[in-house]
Structure 1
């Protein structure tokens, strides 16, 4: 009798252990510890330059290049506050990346570029980071005259590029 009770206890313990292990293996990924790295593309820098026939803005991205739109806007405002961005110019482009972030999962900034800079290139007069909010990273560019622009992506490392045409300066 004692032997049968011991066997039943052993079977019960083994069954419980196997059941617990099976449940742990079948748990959804969302139940796993939150130590995984974010897959949201990170905006880490913005830079600019001038060439003979165009000014260029380059946005450096860690991860895949997110969907990006470039839109002419009547004025530049900071996301969230709506306050005007103090850049010189009469014409403005808004560059919006989504989904993207300029901060890591701990909320620390990973963006090393300028937040607001006035420039005196043939076409480009200023660049500002205007937002890093709810999965959107936004930049504004300023011009004295209406910009004619083209956009494209470069890879290895990942970059989003805006070229703004101007008369030949070379």
Structure 2
């Protein structure tokens, strides 16, 4: 893949996390199924209430008996909001058979698109991001911001966060530009993925098979 002209510093933010059906997982405050090249628009699973909104634990969205995902097609949901929500952070954790990336929001659930891309690039400039992987999932969140009214980042650190999970190698902040927030998922290899939405607190979940 192409290399970026700018070097990025790795900023590992690793926490120990116990959750998701009693499994020990790794998370941070900083995804082989049969491949398909066709792009389709698919609705996510229904938004579900969450009675345990904790910060570092996602017990409600990662039961131990949840099977690894198998879908590989683009998932897109469009929404028009009066006020873009704020991305407050991105977490990741390893589970039995799959890895999980969680995007946390403050505000309403925005629209998004999750798709395979040949490489990760910086939003706005289009410059390639220097990060090695066997496959790349791009999560484009719109409308959304990852900064406050004063321009201070609400999703701090990065742009590259080392994950080191079963398949997810890194999570990358690819942009925060004109009410579009980009989250890149760097994988060891292409695999099945699924997308879920949850409320209380609002968040987007991307599971990727090992």
- Give TM-score, length-normalised by structure 2: 0.58
Instruction: Say which SS state the counterpart of residue 125 (structure 1) adopts.
Output: strand
Out of 39, 51, 63, the position equivalent to 2:107 is 63
1:83-138 per-position Cα deviation (integer Å, ceiling 9, x unaligned):
22222212100001101001122222222364212332111011100100011000
Out of 114, 128, 131, the position equivalent to 2:175 is 131
Q: How many residues align?
A: 129
Describe the shift of the 1:115–1:131 C-alpha distance in structure 2 as closer, same or farther (beyond 3 A).
Answer: same
Q: Would you say 1:51 and 2:127 are equivalent positions?
A: no
Out of 181, 184, 187, the position equivalent to 1:140 is 184
**Where do 5+ consecutive residues of structure 2 fail to align?**
1-81
**Where do 5+ consecutive residues of structure 1 fail to align?**
1-37
Q: CA RMSD in A?
A: 1.5
Q: Larger Rg: 1 or 2?
A: 1
Q: Which has the higher helix share?
A: 1
> Counterparts of 2:101 and 2:113 in 1: how far apart (Å)?
14
> Counterparts of 1:101 and 1:153 in 2: how far apart (Å)?
18
2:123 alignment partner in structure 1: 79
1:81, CA displacement in angstroms?
1.9
1:120 alignment partner in structure 2: 164
2:200 alignment partner in structure 1: 156
Describe the shift of the 1:75–1:86 C-alpha distance in structure 2 as closer, same or farther (beyond 3 A).
Answer: same
Out of 135, 152, 155, the position equivalent to 1:111 is 155
2:5 alignment partner in structure 1: none
Runs of 4 or more above 2 Å deviation: 112-115
- Give TM-score, length-normalised by structure 1: 0.71
